[in-house]
Amino acid sequence: MSTDQTQLPRKVLWRRIDAEGMDACTYALSGDGYRISGTALYLEGDEPAKFEYRVSCNPDWSTRSARVSGWVGGTERDFRLSRNPAGTWSSDCSDVEGASGLLDVDLGFTPATNTNAIRRLGLAVGEEAETTAVWLDTQDWRFKPLRQVYRRLSRTEFAYRSPSHDYAATLVTDDFGIVRHYPQLWTAVSDPDARSC
């Protein structure tokens, strides 16, 4: 049995730091791959927001598809994102510009999707990798490419950079790669080792 199989499912509850909000997420086996699913509740400015998300990953943790549905204030949102065998990404029947060949999805309203990139990259301590994710930008609710750099500092610490946002921080994870602390944005409030039998 693989290490992933013996460590899943795993559940985590995050509290948002920069605004009122919570996010409950599960990482689980699904067919020959993995599923990340959860619900985020938070304030977007003065408006309440609620989003349910589901990300389907391949055995190497590259992303196959994602679904996001919910609302911000009085505006309903519903997105379906998928990658075809040629590596082209489409959202609701339209190709995502500049995303062909990308392997990760990053949903901008949750820390859940840093884990799939961390697991896929499999960095040793001291190693660094640049990758580009298909990112859901919550400013305009569009999918777009986002450059990201991960450098593994220790067993549970990753120096993370988003050059286009001039953002850099050290992400603290559990042993599996699930974010425990995302500076300025999220912190976990549940037991990192809590999982179903």
CA 52 to chain centre: 13
Work out the percent of the chain whose per-residue pLDDT is above 70: 95
Mean per-residue pLDDT over the chain, rounded? 93
Average pLDDT value for residue range 60-87: 96
Question: At residue 3, does pLDDT exceed 70?
Answer: no
pLDDT of residue 1: 36
Give the model's pLDDT for residue 153.
98
Query: How far apart, in whole angstroms, are the C-alpha atoms of residue 145 and residue 134?
Result: 5
Return the pLDDT at 6.
81
- Domain residues of the chain, as ranges? 3-188
**pLDDT of the residue at 17:** 96
Distance between CA atoms of residues 68 and 81, nearest Å: 9
Residues forming beta bridges with residue 89, ordered by sequence position: 83
Paired residues of 192 in beta bridges: none
pLDDT above 90: percentage of residues in the chain: 90
Residue 121 CA, chain-centre distance (Å), reads: 14
> Phi and psi dihedrals of 90, rounded to 5?
-135, 145
The per-residue pLDDT for range 99-136, each reduced to its tens digit, is 999 999 999 999 999 999 999 999 999 999 999 999 99
The overall pTM is greater than 0.75: yes
Task: Report how far apart, in Å, the C-alpha atoms of 157 and of each of 72, 147, 169, 179 are.
Answer: 33, 19, 10, 9
Return the biggest CA–CA distance within the chain.
47
Per-residue pLDDT tens over the stretch 138-190: 999 999 999 999 999 999 999 999 999 999 999 999 999 999 999 999 999 98
